[in-house]
Amino acid sequence: FPLLSSVAIDVLAVQASSVPCERVFSSAKETTTHRRANLSTELMTALQVLKFMFKQDRIDFTSHLVTKEEDYDIGRFAPGEAERLLKQGKLGELWGLLDAGVVMDTN
């Protein structure tokens, strides 16, 4: 039976289950809890894709929360500016500059 042996070699060499497939089912089992048993097929698919992308670091929901170096840039005003504002009685303007993070240039 040469044809049967050829088919048997091709079919029997296939694994019964593969690791990626098992991972998908395990991940779906984690998503589909008792409380989420009535999720639609489309929503379940979307959740699985989002979970995969998140685990692969392809999607990041907190990147906008990371402070950038330019956020630490503090404006400076000229030496004597604070004294000038105090002498002119412009305390509101001085407090406004200080609240905005502007500091005196000590150079």
Three-class secondary structure of residue 33 per DSSP: coil
Domain boundaries, the chain: 12-57, 76-103
User: Which pair of structure tokens corresponds to residue 21?
Assistant: 């497939």
- Residues 52-102 pLDDT 10s: 888 887 777 777 777 776 666 556 667 677 788 888 988 888 888 777 766
User: Would you state the pLDDT for residue 71?
Assistant: 64
pLDDT at 65: 78
Q: What pTM was estimated for this model as a whole?
A: 0.40
Predicted confidence (pLDDT) at residue 106 exceeds the cutoff of 60? no
pLDDT exceeds 70 at position 17:
no
Closest CA to 81 of 43, 58, 107: 107
Q: Is the pLDDT confidence value at 104 over 60? A: no
Return mean pLDDT, the chain: 77
